[in-house]
């Protein structure tokens, strides 16, 4: 698998708004009938826009690479002649201005998506970590390199309105890791689309899974590519309310505060965790 085929996916993926992805983590949500609410996330979060893969995706368009040539039947691949390669190179050179304008447009779009932060700036990752540290709940944010952050987040209070994690100042609300939606009858629905690595639970994570698969293929062919974080951890809900529905493998278990739901998340998880809980009685 050629790196350019992998990298061609990167920019559209970023511009689609899926900026953050979980890595190794433990996440717990407490929902109590008295309105008490606590959410915690401890582990890795990666911003793909700050990874080496994103930078490689941009640079790949600046390097000519000959396309495959085929026999007259259009199916069998053959070695290109020098004339064919020269013709491809001439066409590639002629499109230089178009590629440059496209890169500039994508760079401006990405900067706008990131609240004015320039992902090509070497200080961007530290700037992002500092920005998160100013927000309530982000107790610790440490950049480990390649857009990968170790974070410790926790927040408590009364759940009087809907909740989503993560939310980042100036960044658009993209694909959330966890959402809590309140209903008027005292019930609430919990969804965790960011914790499904593939399948219908989270289409954007599915795209990430495709990139990971092709990156692995590239590595096997000797092309060393940056490693991307994939969901790997546990998502836990603790409640003293009535659990009306959930998609865990084993159902509710006992907990000192009531009941507990536990989802083991791996890169093969297809269904996003979901639960419906009644806190009215």
Q: What is the pLDDT of residue 7?
A: 47
136 alpha-carbon distance from chain centroid: 22
Q: Is the pLDDT score of 150 beyond 80? A: yes
Residue range 18-52+118-278, CATH number: 2.60.40
Element (H, E) at 112: helix 96-113
Q: Is the pLDDT score of 78 beyond 70? A: yes
The closest of 212, 52, 191 to 119, measured between CA atoms, is: 52
**Per-residue confidence at 146, pLDDT binned at 50, 70, 90?**
confident
Q: What is the pLDDT of residue 4?
A: 47
Can you tell me whether residue 128 is helix, strand or coil?
helix
Average pLDDT, the chain: 81
Mean pLDDT of 159-181: 86
Helix, strand, coil shares of the chain, percent, nearest 5, are 30, 30, 35
Residues 6+ apart with CB under 8 A from 59: none
Residues 197-249: tens digit of each pLDDT: 654 444 445 455 555 554 554 444 555 556 678 889 999 999 999 999 999 99
Contact 129, 142 (CB under 8 A): yes
Strand partners, 243: 277
> Which residue would you say has higher pLDDT here, 121 or 272?
272
DSSP 48: G
Residues 79-88: tens digit of each pLDDT: 999 999 999 9
**Per-residue confidence at 179, pLDDT binned at 50, 70, 90?**
very high
Q: What is the pLDDT of residue 168?
A: 87
Q: What is the pLDDT of residue 110?
A: 66
Contact 228, 19 (CB under 8 A): no
Q: What is the pLDDT of residue 50?
A: 75
Output the CA–CA distances (angstroms, integers) from residue 201 to 59, 194, 207, 246, in the order listed: 32, 8, 12, 14
Contact 181, 162 (CB under 8 A): yes
Provide the token pair at 226.
């940056």
**Per-residue confidence at 54, pLDDT binned at 50, 70, 90?**
low
Q: With pLDDT > 70 as the criterion, what percentage of the chain qualifies?
A: 72
Q: Is the pLDDT score of 73 beyond 90? A: no
**Per-residue confidence at 170, pLDDT binned at 50, 70, 90?**
confident
Q: What is the pLDDT of residue 277?
A: 98
Rg of the chain's alpha carbons, rounded to an integer?
A: 23
Tell me the domain boundaries of the chain: 18-52+118-278
> Which residue would you say has higher pLDDT here, 173 or 11?
173
């Amino acid at each position: 698998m050629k790196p350019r085929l992998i990298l061609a996916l990167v920019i559209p993926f970023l511009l689609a708004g899926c900026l953050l992805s979980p890595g190794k983590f433990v996440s717990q949500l407490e929902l109590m009938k008295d309105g008490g609410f606590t959410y915690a996330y401890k582990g890795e979060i990666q911003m793909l826009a700050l990874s080496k893969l994103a930078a490689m995706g941009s640079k790949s368009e600046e390097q000519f690479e000959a396309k495959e040539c085929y026999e007259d039947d259009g199916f069998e691949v053959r070695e290109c002649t020098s004339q064919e390669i020269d013709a491809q190179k001439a066409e590639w050179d002629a499109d230089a201005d178009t590629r440059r304008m496209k890169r500039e447009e994508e760079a401006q779009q990405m900067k706008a998506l990131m609240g004015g932060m320039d992902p090509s700036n070497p200080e961007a990752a530290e700037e992002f970590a500092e920005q998160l540290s100013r927000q309530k709940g982000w107790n610790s944010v440490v950049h480990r390199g390649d857009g990968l952050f170790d974070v410790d987040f926790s927040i408590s209070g009364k759940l009087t309105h809907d909740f989503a994690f993560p939310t980042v100042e100036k960044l658009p609300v993209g694909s959330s890791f966890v959402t809590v939606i309140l209903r008027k009858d005292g019930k609430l629905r919990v969804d965790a689309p960011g914790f499904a690595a593939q399948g219908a639970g989270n289409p954007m994570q599915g795209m990430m899974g495709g990139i990971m698969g092709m990156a692995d293929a590239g590595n096997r062919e000797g092309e060393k590519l940056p490693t991307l974080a994939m969901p790997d951890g546990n998502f836990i809900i603790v409640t003293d309310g009535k659990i009306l529905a959930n998609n865990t493998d084993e159902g509710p278990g006992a907990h000192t505060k009531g009941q507990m739901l536990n989802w083991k998340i791996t890169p093969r998880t297809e269904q996003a965790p979901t639960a419906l809980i009644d806190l009215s009685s």
